[in-house]
Chain A
Amino acid sequence: MYKIAVMGDYDSIYGFAAVGLDTYPLSDEKEAEKQLHQLVLAQYAVIYITEEWAAKIPHAIDKYKDQILPAIIQIPGVSGNTGKGVENVKKFVETAVGSDILFSNNK
């Protein structure tokens, strides 16, 4: 049985608790990395993290990118959409194809 976690600043994520996800408010970067590693060990299959916080701990997130679990997914926070999530998808295309052939013209 796997669980789902949401990480980010408190204001962005408190609502997710109501729908049944586990929320982990973050306050500083070191702690955030530690928290992420702990969540992976604690059998979370999906970890949503706000884009701002994902940008602060890219190395910790990269560590899990070749593993089948967990899926670390960026979501926009309350302060707005930084476009990092969409950029990520474009990056997948770039890695696979060599250049972004799908989404390069529609910004």
Chain B
Amino acid sequence: MASTQVNPTRMELTRQKNKLKTAVRGHKLLKDKRDELMRQFLDLVRENMELRLKVEAGIRSANTNFVIAKAGMSEPTLKTALMTPKQEVYLEVDKKNVMSVDIPVLEYKTRTADANDIYSYGFAFTSSDLDGAVKSLADVLPDMLKLAESEKACQLMSAEIEKTRRRVNALEHVIIPEAQENIKYISMKLGENERSSQIRLMKVKDMMLEETHHYKEKAHERAMENS
């Protein structure tokens, strides 16, 4: 494969072995992370879907109520009625760490504790439908905030899972096989070099012995004498 680029040296071999070790360890850890993230994500996203359907149904019925309320009174009256809200909602935002993903935890506070402060108008000039409409909207609000929290968490987690999955795949299918291939190539090459130098030494030894003792000449002479 890509083994053309590595130098067949012992140093490189050690380096590749270390790389493989790190890659295998990293692969295992990332795989665990991916699995755990996935488990939590699937729970969360199911919950998120339920919440969303609930909130959408809630808002739809609230909207219907508002349309009815609007039909029952003039537009200026309606605008004036809702112009100066008494109630205000604040959020406290905290962070929760789920498998290295920061997800927001929202906690909401209303400015006043009185549940009736959502009616920011006098009841004399508005229709009672408006009260119902406002109430129905106030009822979905807690679920809407929960939805915001879980939907953001799902968004962040799905992005993180995708990233982790890519890393796992890259390690599994590219980095680890490559390192293994390199290690194999280098150790083969080193073995080959070892054998070739062994042979070279044996040859040299033969030549040197020949030079000092002249085996071949002596054997030739002996053969001549015998004949």
Task: Report A's interface with B, CB cutoff 8 A.
Answer: 1-4, 12, 14-21, 45-46, 48, 65-66, 68-69, 71, 73, 75-78, 80-81, 85-86, 88-89, 92-93, 95-98, 102-103
Contact between A45 and B45, CB atoms less than 8 A apart: no
Which residues of B sit under 8 angstroms from A77, Cβ to Cβ? 63
Contact between A45 and B85, CB atoms less than 8 A apart: no
A18 interface neighbour in B38, B48, B67, B134, Cβ under 8 Å: B134
Query: Which of B79, B111, B134, B155 has most A Cβ within 10 Å?
Result: B155
Q: B76-135: which residues lie under 8 A (CB-CB) from chain A? A: 78-79, 82-83, 85, 87-93, 95, 102-104, 106, 108, 110-111, 118-120, 133-134
What is the total number of residues of chain B having a CB less than 8 Å from a CB of chain A?
Answer: 61
Closest Cβ–Cβ distance, residue B90 to chain A (whole Å)? 5
Which residues of B sit under 8 angstroms from A68, Cβ to Cβ? 95, 102-104, 152, 156
Contact between B120 and A46, CB atoms less than 8 A apart: no
A92 interface neighbour in B63, B134, B154, Cβ under 8 Å: B154
Which residues of A sit under 8 angstroms from B172, Cβ to Cβ? none
Which residues of A sit under 8 angstroms from B178, Cβ to Cβ? none
Contact between A78 and B134, CB atoms less than 8 A apart: no
Known pairs A18-B134, A20-B110; A75 contacts B144 (CB<8 A): yes
B interface SS class: helix
Closest-by-CB residue of B relative to A83 is: B56
Known pairs A15-B82, A46-B145, A68-B152; A20 contacts B89 (CB<8 A): yes
Closest Cβ–Cβ distance, residue A100 to chain B (whole Å)? 10
Which residues of B sit under 8 angstroms from A17, Cβ to Cβ? 82-83, 85, 120
A66 to B159, CA, bound (A): 8
